[in-house]
Amino acid sequence: MLVGYVAEMKVRQIWFSPPRVESTRKPDDHDRKEKGDLVVTYRGAPFRIEVKSIQTNSIRRSENGATARFQCDASDRRVIQLPGGRKVNTTCLKVDEFDVVAVNLFALLDRWEFAFARNRDLPRSTYKRYPASVRKQLLASLVPITWPLAAPFRAEPFRLFDEILNERPRRGGSATS
């Protein structure tokens, strides 16, 4: 848990401080209605960032680099409503519940670097007790990542933000992708 808070502080210092962004705020960790560890204002628009850390015991090194996994779920079970009205009791995060994940790579690289990916590009849940219609609306709880980075991960977040901005409606756009 402590590493998670340090990672939030470090990603804010490295990537999400003025002048790179207009503002950054941290939503209340206990607010189940507003998901995301940070809300960043970039080019006048809000982006919700979920900060995650690689699981040290998942790291596998090879001559070509490394593979690892990070846990991409909520800290506790909650009831969420999916598009279409279905309610599910889960720890999984919803597709489009935040905009971008920032994955802390310190355990892998021994330095503060992050990998960024859009929520919509992350793998979906494969939990067999959920019907396929539900699985496609929930993110996988363990997500693989490689070093060097491979799609959908990138070493910087701003091109992702620009892509999201270009896809959002010009007026009344939401903070989700």
24 has which bridge partners?
A: 40
**What pTM value is reported for the model?**
0.91
162, pLDDT greater than 50: yes
Sheet holding 142-147, edge to edge: 60-62, 65-71, 142-147
As its CATH architecture, domain 2-167 has 3-Layer(aba) Sandwich (3.40)
The mean pLDDT value of the chain amounts to 92
pLDDT value, residue 18: 94
140, pLDDT greater than 70: yes
* Mean pLDDT of the 141-169 span: 97
Residue 177 pLDDT level (bands cut at 50, 70, 90): very low
User: What letter would DSSP give residue 57?
Assistant: G
Residue 3 pLDDT level (bands cut at 50, 70, 90): confident
* Mean pLDDT of the 47-57 span: 96
Q: Measured between alpha carbons, how far is 165 from 142 in angstroms, rounded to an integer?
A: 28
Instruction: Please count the CA atoms within 13 angstroms of the CA of 84 that sit on its side-chain side.
Output: 8
The percentage of residues in the chain with a pLDDT greater than 70, rounded to a whole number, is 93
CB neighbour class for 126 (10 Å; exposed up to 12, middle 13-18, buried from 19): exposed
pLDDT value, residue 173: 46
pLDDT, tens digit, for every residue of 33-43? 667 899 999 99
